[in-house]
């Protein structure tokens, strides 16, 4: 591989841009901040005040540090429970559950499509009893929990509510976030089950139900993270996130719900990747753009309804299988970007995550990365420390304008649902992924250890993560024991009511909670929806 020669003259120099293609000048001055200082002050406001460019809260990290929320889950509920206790013991401040693919897609562990996947990318959950075991010794009236679950989000929420009830926790005490963003599954993450129309209805059922019953819980996390990971740039990520948020809000206001009542509990999820200043600008622009949409498009009066709060995950696709310790450095920069961008909670990838579920050593290092940035660097001392930087303010303005253009293109094509049905944003993502890969292959985009400075690589030496090969059989046996012990007739009645509510257009959440309490399995509940709604087939990607 060619090595970079610092003495060589630059080849024909391409224009210098951010990763999203925003031109970057050699230096920025006060002239680059549109409208001068007074206009800028109006675009910024103070932290905790509209338009929230500088942060959702007045005191930011002085008042409260971000939540350190490492995404975790594998194998059985007991194994994941042990990982949760391990993480909390090392100073993590909240939980985030990764579910296995059968759970995400509404198959019980004994389904023929499920067998090879049980417990692999997350924990296997078949019943509310599994949820009870998952949170053993973890008081749900105190511990905030994030659930990365989408197509089966209403079902998993029901099993969680049944488990919390068994612990004696009251619904109004529960804190956490349900991802429940089905649009980005169609866009990028691909764990969809039902067609877009019924899927939007289920997502809205959850938000509507939670708006009354779960006042401290975020019933949706509108995310651009997965579109970004699937290949698009930061501008498109922000534009698509806003397009999805608009679609959910239109679905909810279309039901007659007042925007000001549900919007304060909406949360967001962005990637933070390696182009540090562009990422910080994106996160600041996200708050300002959402404030504009909430107030101008939806007429928000309640300031909290226009205040964007977000979770940041650093990017797995920036990590490399080659020289895996380099990933620690990449993750550190990305975590810093999330902090400078004002994140409310953060996940840092394991350095071994390019090829396996992170080992205990790797997740500890991820958590330590967050703790060192929080406690040793001083970046938490003042809110929005990069405000007023000529460059960062210029980039923030550019990012807002360009993301608004992406949103306008989606709106012009009929809104997020229609655009996704046509495959439009999916094609943007796929084409961008191919371009990025060609740039790495040709050396146009530097990846240390991959296309430059490749010596000293060799086979990655990391602590191997081993999944128990008997996990599927154990999980199947446990679910059969439980379904054998339940009152079958009572359970069947709850499933019939669920079908009726699904068919008649009632909110499905109350019936789902009854099903979960009666011991219905995730596969049985999802099976009702499969029968009622059918399944989605993806259009051709080309």
Partner 1 sequence: MSPPPRILLAKPGLDGHDRGLKVVAMALRDAGAEVIYLGLRVPVADIVAAAAAEDAAVVGISVLSGAHLPLAGQLLTAMRAAGLDTPVAVGGTIPSRDADALRQLGVAGVFPVGTPLPGVVEGVLQLAGPETAGR
Q: Which stretch in 99-107, 342-350, 400-408, 485-493 sits in contact with partner 1 by CB under 8 A?
A: 99-107
| 199 contributes a contact to partner 1 by CB under 8 A | no
| 393 contributes a contact to partner 1 by CB under 8 A | no
Contact yes or no for 212/203 (Cβ under 8 A): no
Report the nearest approach of partner 1 to the CB of residue 465 (Å). 9
| 356 contributes a contact to partner 1 by CB under 8 A | yes
Comparison of 434 and 485: residue with beta carbon closer to partner 1:
434
Q: Which stretch in 38-46, 111-119, 134-142, 283-291 sits in contact with partner 1 by CB under 8 A?
A: 111-119
> 189 by DSSP, 3-state: which?
helix
Q: Which stretch in 8-16, 96-104, 135-143, 329-337 sits in contact with partner 1 by CB under 8 A?
A: 96-104
Q: What is the DSSP string of 413-441?
A: TT-HHHHHHHTHHHHHHHHHHHHHHHHHH
- CA–CA gap between residue 175 and residue 397 (Å, rounded): 34
Comparison of 254 and 469: residue with beta carbon closer to partner 1:
469
DSSP letter at 150 equals -
| 541 contributes a contact to partner 1 by CB under 8 A | yes
Q: What is the biggest distance separating any 2 CA atoms in the chain, rounded to whole angstroms?
A: 79
Comparison of 105 and 305: residue with beta carbon closer to partner 1:
105
Q: Which stretch in 13-21, 54-62, 64-72, 315-323 sits in contact with partner 1 by CB under 8 A?
A: 315-323
**Of 439, 48, 410, nearest to 224 (Cα)?**
410
Comparison of 83 and 309: residue with beta carbon closer to partner 1:
83
Give the strand order in the sheet containing 217-218.
Answer: 71-72, 95-98, 145-148, 176-178, 217-218
Element (H, E) at 514: helix 509-517
Report the nearest approach of partner 1 to the CB of residue 19 (Å). 16
DSSP letter at 173 equals G
Helices (H), 135-233: 153-167, 183-184, 196-213, 225-230
User: Residue from 21, 197, 355, 375 that binds partner 1 (CB under 8 A)?
Assistant: 355
- CA–CA gap between residue 93 and residue 66 (Å, rounded): 9
**CA-CA distances (angstroms) from residue 116 to 120, 286, 294, 358, 469?**
8, 40, 44, 20, 10
Tell me the per-residue interface mask from 3 to 42 with partner 1, x by CB under 8 A, - otherwise. ----------------------------------------
Report the nearest approach of partner 1 to the CB of residue 182 (Å). 13
| Residues sharing a CB contact under 8 Å with residue 104, sequence separation 6 or more, in sequence order | 122, 149, 150, 151, 152, 191
Tell me the per-residue interface mask from 224 to 263 with partner 1, x by CB under 8 A, - otherwise. -----xxx--------------------------------
**Of 424, 418, 381, nearest to 406 (Cα)?**
424
Tell me the per-residue interface mask from 150 to 189 with partner 1, x by CB under 8 A, - otherwise. -----------------------------------x---x
User: Residue from 295, 302, 430, 507 that binds partner 1 (CB under 8 A)?
Assistant: 430
| 313 contributes a contact to partner 1 by CB under 8 A | no
| Structure-block tokens of residue 59 | 């005191």
- CA–CA gap between residue 306 and residue 331 (Å, rounded): 30
By CB under 8 A, the residues from 443 to 462 that bind partner 1 are: 450-451, 459-460
Comparison of 107 and 147: residue with beta carbon closer to partner 1:
107
Comparison of 172 and 437: residue with beta carbon closer to partner 1:
437
> 268 by DSSP, 3-state: which?
strand
Report the nearest approach of partner 1 to the CB of residue 434 (Å). 5
Contact yes or no for 339/373 (Cβ under 8 A): yes
> 515 by DSSP, 3-state: which?
helix
By CB under 8 A, the residues from 258 to 297 that bind partner 1 are: none
Which residues are at the interface with partner 1 (CB under 8 A)?
Answer: 101-102, 104-105, 107, 113-117, 120-121, 185, 189-191, 229-231, 317, 320-322, 354-357, 430, 433-434, 437-438, 440-441, 450-451, 459-460, 464, 467, 538, 541-542
């Amino acid at each position: 591989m060619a090595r970079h020669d610092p003495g060589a003259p630059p080849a024909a120099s391409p224009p210098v841009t951010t990763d999203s293609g925003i031109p970057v000048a050699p230096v920025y001055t006060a002239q680059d901040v549109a409208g001068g200082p007074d206009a800028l002050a109006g675009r910024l406001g103070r932290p905790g005040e509209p338009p929230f460019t500088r942060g959702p809260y007045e005191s930011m990290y002085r008042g409260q540090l971000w939540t350190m929320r490492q995404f975790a889950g594998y194998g059985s509920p007991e194994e994941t429970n042990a990982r949760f206790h391990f993480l909390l013991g090392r100073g993590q401040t909240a939980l985030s559950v990764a579910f296995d693919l059968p759970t995400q897609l509404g198959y019980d562990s004994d389904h023929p499509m499920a067998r090879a996947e049980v417990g692999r990318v997350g924990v296997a959950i078949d019943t509310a009893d599994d949820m009870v075991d998952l949170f053993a010794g973890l008081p749900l009236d105190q511990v905030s929990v994030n659930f990365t679950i989408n197509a089966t989000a209403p079902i998993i929420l029901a099993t969680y509510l049944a488990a919390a009830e068994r612990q004696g926790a009251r619904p109004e005490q529960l804190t956490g976030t349900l991802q429940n963003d089905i649009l980005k599954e169609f866009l990028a993450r691909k764990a969809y089950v039902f067609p877009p129309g019924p899927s939007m209805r289920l997502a809205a059922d959850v938000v509507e139900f939670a708006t009354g019953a779960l006042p401290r819980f975020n019933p949706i996390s509108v995310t651009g993270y997965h579109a970004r990971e699937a290949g698009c740039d930061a501008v498109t990520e922000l534009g698509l996130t806003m397009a999805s948020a608009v679609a959910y809000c239109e679905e909810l206001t279309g039901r007659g719900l007042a925007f000001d009542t549900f919007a304060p509990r909406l949360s967001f999820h962005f990637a933070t990747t390696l182009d540090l200043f562009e990422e910080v600008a994106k996160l600041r622009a996200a708050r300002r753009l959402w404030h504009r949409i909430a107030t101008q498009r939806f007429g928000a009066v309640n300031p909290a309804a226009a205040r964007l709060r977000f979770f940041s995950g650093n990017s797995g696709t920036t990590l490399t299988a080659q020289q895996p310790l380099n990933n620690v450095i990449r993750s550190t920069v990305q975590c810093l970007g999330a902090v400078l961008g004002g994140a409310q909670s953060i996940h840092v990838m394991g350095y071994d995550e390019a090829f396996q579920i992170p080992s205990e050593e790797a997740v500890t290092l991820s958590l330590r990365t967050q703790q060192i940035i929080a406690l040793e660097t001083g970046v938490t001392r003042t809110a929005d420390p990069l405000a007023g930087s000529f460059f960062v303010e210029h980039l923030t303005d550019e990012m807002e304008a360009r993301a608004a253009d992406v949103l306008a293109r989606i709106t012009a094509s009929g809104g997020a649902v229609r655009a996704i049905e046509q495959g439009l944003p999916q094609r943007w993502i796929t084409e961008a992924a191919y371009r990025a890969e060609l740039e790495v292959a040709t050396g146009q985009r530097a990846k240390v250890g991959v296309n430059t400075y490749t010596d000293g690589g060799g086979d990655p030496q990391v602590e191997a993560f081993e999944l128990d090969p008997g996990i599927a059989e154990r999980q199947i046996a446990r679910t059969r024991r439980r379904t054998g012990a339940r009152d079958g007739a009572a359970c069947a009645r709850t499933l019939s009511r669920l079908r009726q509510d699904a068919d008649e257009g009632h909110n499905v959440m109350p019936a789902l909670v009854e099903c979960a309490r009666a011991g219905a399995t995730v596969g049985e509940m999802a099976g009702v929806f499969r029968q009622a709604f059918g399944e989605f087939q993806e259009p051709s990607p080309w």
